[in-house]
Amino acid sequence: MKILVGMKRVVDYNVRIRVLSDGSGVDTDGVKMSVNPFDEIALEEALRIREAGKAEEVIVVSAGGDACQQQLRTGLAMGADRAIQIQTSEGLQPLSTARAFLKIIEREDPGLVILGKQAIDDDNSQTGQMLAALWDRPQATFASELILNGNSARVTREVDAGLETIEIDLPAVVTVDLRLNEPRFVKLPDIMKAKRKPLDVFSMEDLGVAIEGNIEIGHHTPPPQREKGIMVEDAAQLVEELKNRGLI
């Protein structure tokens, strides 16, 4: 069985995001970029499945400019066997990404597709679900446990009410949550090995997918700044101040 894993290049989670003054987006000048943390968890799970002898090959896929090859190399250094870049200079919306991934699925015929539950930049949480629908295969989202049983999988999902366990037929799309596993560190010699692993590049035209934008982005604004607080002497003054502001 082959496992396909998505890897998105995103602004690192440690970076303090700054909205550009014209509201057109987020400042990425000199900003550290890394693999979407949920995608790292997805890859870790795929590697563990392969190491358990339940899959033969793990392929990492990313859609983006050439810079995203850096994240694919990270995936290869973690242990993926090969990588595919869907090359595009335009930012893709989830539906276009899902359509492009579907084309890769048609070429590779994987038994399982594992994606992060969402990317930490746009927080859409849509690509996995759309991909399952386009592919017409089952989906199990927000997985915190994944057990493969031949042609099916038992997936524990993190839902609002707690945990839900479902059984799905394979092939399927699984999107993963934070508690599924803790990704491994990359070993130095593996970084060198990753440089020699195959990385194929397809353009959106090669795949025959038109880039569409069904979401129109108005503008970006930073959250309002917290105003300076005041120190109150006692509870009575606190009540007074709250009353003055019409809060109680």
Q: Which residues bind another protein (CB under 8 A)?
A: 12, 14-16, 18, 21, 29-32, 182-185, 187-189, 191-192
Q: Which is nearer to another protein, 27 or 122 (CB)?
A: 27
> Is the dihedral angle over the CA atoms 186, 192, 193, 197 positive or is it negative?
positive
- DSSP secondary structure letter of residue 171: S
Q: Which is nearer to another protein, 231 or 248 (CB)?
A: 231
Least separation in angstroms between CB 220 and another protein: 15
Least separation in angstroms between CB 34 and another protein: 8
Q: Which is nearer to another protein, 170 or 194 (CB)?
A: 194
Least separation in angstroms between CB 189 and another protein: 6
Q: Which is nearer to another protein, 52 or 188 (CB)?
A: 188
Angle, vertex CA 144, rays to CA 179 and CA 191, nearest 5: 60
Least separation in angstroms between CB 73 and another protein: 12
Alpha helices in 117-244 (DSSP H): 127-135, 188-196, 204-207, 235-244
